[in-house]
């Protein structure tokens, strides 16, 4: 008699694949470009470095934002001549003055065109529209990508003049001694594994006993292997008269049940 296994290797493969995907998309850090030390010194000399973090073996830095240098074109003589041509002359101004209506006619037109006070008091206030969360997320992602482009790392060399140069060029610098391997291990492996383990336990606790995650809708019948060579016959119970008589009575009852039901007999369950 053999029973089907409740667990298979696919469960463990699914869990391992989920952990790898979660670690790649949520906890993976972007790769920072590495530059040479000479280029780093040139960037400091050109005032292109905003801040640096100095570690025992490496230096991490962020470049300044590049300012857009747009050349402003000076107005040419032709444009000045065009402006002079467009300025109204004294004669045209005098003609316009003659065409201007009198004050009384202008006042009458203003009174006729003025809307009622009730209508003028009504002001349509446009509702304040909030920025959709998708646009906010897009702006934040764009800002992060722009910051990643300005980040760099360089292998630290022995340079006693470095701090003085950073100070003179206005670079924000600080040191860092502790290692982050324990923090990365905790956030990249312990927390994801703990979350998946809690989800796994919660799902199994909600299920009925004996049910599996991938057994939904399947039959719960068990299969037993019966050996065809092993059969029980009347010859096997020969010598036990009571058992033989009981079996014969049951067979007779199944053949002619009415003969026994008249007397009030019932088949035992």
Q: Please, how many CA atoms are within 13 Å of residue 188, restricted to the half-sphere of its CB?
A: 13
Q: 66 falls in which pLDDT band (50, 70, 90)?
A: confident
- What pLDDT was estimated at residue 42? 92
Helix axes 9-26, 191-206, angle to 10 degrees: 140
* Short-list 15, 28, 89, 54, CA closest to 176: 54
Listed by start position, the domains of the chain span: 9-65+134-206, 226-269
Which residues in 182-217 are b (16+ Cβ under 10 Å) and which e?
eeeeeebeeebeeeeeeeeeeeeeeeeeeeeeeeee
- Could you tell me which residue, 163 or 140, shows the higher pLDDT? 163
pLDDT on residue 100 = 46
Q: Which sign, positive or negative, has the C-alpha torsion 109, 115, 116, 121?
A: negative
Determine whether domain 9-65+134-206 maps to CATH 3.30.720.210: yes
Residue 242 has a pLDDT of 76
pLDDT score, position 121: 47
Q: Is 0.75 surpassed by the pTM of this model?
A: no
Q: For residue 36, what pLDDT is reported?
A: 92
Q: Categorize the per-residue pLDDT at 41 as very low, low, confident or very high, splitting at 50, 70 and 90.
A: very high
* Pick from 35-39, 46-50, 57-61, 251-255: least confident: 251-255
pLDDT band at 189 (very low <50, low <70, confident <90, very high): confident
Q: Above 50 in pLDDT, residue 185?
A: yes
Q: Which two tokens stand for residue 107?
A: 């006042």
Structure confidence at residue 132 (pLDDT):
58
Q: What is the mean pLDDT of residues 19-46?
A: 80
In the predicted model, what is the mean pLDDT of residues 167-175?
A: 89
Across all residues in the chain, what is the average pLDDT?
Answer: 70
Residues 130-142 have pLDDT tens digits of 555 556 656 676 7
Q: Residue 134 — φ and ψ, nearest 5°?
A: -65, -40
**215-228 pLDDT tens trace:** 555 566 677 676 76
In angstroms, the CA 190 to CA 152 distance is 29
Strands (DSSP E) found in 104-191: 151-155, 172-175
The more confident residue out of 263 and 2 is 263
Strand-strand pairing, 151-155 and 49-54: unpaired
What token pair was written down for 53? Answer: 């973090």
- The CA angle 217-218-220, to the nearest 5 degrees, is 125
pLDDT at 21: 78
């Amino acid at each position: 008699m053999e029973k089907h296994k409740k667990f298979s290797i696919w469960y463990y493969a699914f869990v391992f694949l989920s952990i790898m995907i979660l670690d790649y998309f949520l906890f993976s850090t972007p790769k920072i470009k590495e530059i040479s030390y000479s280029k780093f010194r040139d960037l400091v000399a050109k005032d292109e470095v905003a801040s640096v973090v100095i570690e025992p073996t490496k230096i991490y830095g962020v470049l300044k934002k590049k300012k857009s240098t747009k050349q402003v074109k000076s107005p040419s003589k032709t444009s000045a001549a065009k402006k002079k041509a467009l300025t109204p002359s004294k004669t045209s101004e005098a003609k316009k003055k003659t065409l201007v209506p009198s004050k009384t006619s202008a006042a009458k037109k203003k009174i006729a065109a003025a809307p009622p006070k009730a209508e003028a008091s009504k002001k349509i206030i446009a509702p304040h529209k909030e920025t959709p969360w998708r646009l906010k997320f897009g702006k934040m992602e764009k800002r992060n990508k722009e910051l990643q482009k300005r980040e760099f790392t360089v292998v630290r060399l022995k340079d006693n003049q470095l701090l003085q140069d950073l100070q003179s060029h206005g670079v924000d610098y600080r040191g860092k001694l502790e290692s982050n391997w324990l923090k990365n291990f905790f956030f990249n492996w312990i927390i994801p594994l703990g979350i998946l383990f809690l989800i796994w336990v919660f799902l199994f606790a909600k299920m009925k006993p004996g049910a599996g995650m991938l057994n939904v809708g399947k039959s719960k019948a068990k299969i037993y292997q019966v050996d065809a060579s092993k059969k029980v016959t009347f010859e096997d119970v020969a010598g036990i008269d009571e058992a033989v008589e009981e079996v014969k009575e049951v067979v007779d009852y199944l053949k002619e049940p009415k003969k026994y039901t008249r007397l009030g007999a019932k088949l035992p369950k």
